[in-house]
Amino acid sequence: MREKAKAAAATDDTRANDLSLDEAVPGHREIGAAELKSVAEALIFVAEEPISAKIIAELVDVDEDNVRNIITKLVAEYEARSSGLQVREIAGGWQIATRPEHHEHVRAYLKSRPSAKLSLASLETLAVIAYKQPITIPEILEIRGVQSPSAIKTLLDKRLIVTKGRKETVGRPMMYGTSKEFLIQFGLKDLSELPSIEDFQDLAGGETTEGRRQ
């Protein structure tokens, strides 16, 4: 993806050079705000994975902050006209996606059903890893009070977690952390968007286990 982008950037550059031979300033042509917005939209639309402002900036050869500002406008435009689509920031990039409120119709058309959810064991293990990463399996056991080998395996299979090297301690156990796929599947910009674990303190203080499962 990135390489493709770079290759495209390269050809863009040469083309720009060709065009500007007779111009006073060699190099790229200034891109107007309106055009930049339009190009950014096209790129976000066509990118298979969330595309970062940096990549767009490199492609179009403008300042990264410019791109960020223009995308903010784009997002506002989609909002303003109550579009069925949204431009949203996810996993360190931008993505065009449908609005969740249309899910019934979209599902009816795609003939898809919500895919199998993670089991409670896997979700709890994932929560521990997300907040305590990098973390080793014995440390997960300590918090959960229960072994979770199959949960770890499920999470690895689904590529929600990845290994993050070994801990320099007895036995040098493997450490785990969440992946980019995790951010995508849980709709997070980055890890800092996770609510602080201390925010769950109040919940933990009083709530019963009721309503925790379906």
Partner 1 sequence: MEDNNSPEMTAVPAPESASQAPATITVTGAEPKIRPDHENDRLKITLGEFEGPLDLLLYLIRQDQVNIYDIPVARITDEYLRYLNLMQELDLSVAGDFLVMAAQLIELKSRMLLPRDPLAVEEEEFDPRADLVNRLLEHEKFKAAAQMLWSRATVEQAVFTRAETETDKNNPEVAVGLFDLLTVFQKILARHKEEVLMEIEREEITMAEMIERLRNMVRSAGELNLITFFERASSRRELVVAFLSVLELVRLGEISLLQRETFGAIIARATNPA
Question: Which residues sit at the interface with partner 1, rule CB under 8 A?
Answer: 45-46, 48, 95-101, 103, 106, 110, 114-115, 117-124, 126-128, 130-131, 142-151, 154, 185-188, 195, 197-198, 200-201, 203-205, 207-210, 212-213
Beta strands in 54-195 (DSSP E): 85-90, 93-98, 135-136, 161-166, 174-178
- The phi and psi torsions of 90 (rounded to 5 degrees) equal -155, 140
d(C-alpha 58, C-alpha 64), whole Å: 8
Q: 128: Cβ–Cβ under 8 A, 6 or more apart, which residues?
A: 135, 140, 143, 144
d(C-alpha 151, C-alpha 157), whole Å: 10
d(C-alpha 90, C-alpha 37), whole Å: 19
What percent of the residues of the chain are helix, what percent strand, and what percent coil, each to the nearest 5? 55, 10, 30
Residue located via tokens 């929560």 = 127
d(C-alpha 214, C-alpha 210), whole Å: 10
Burial 186-200 (b: 16+ CB within 10 A, else e): eebeeeeeeeeeeee
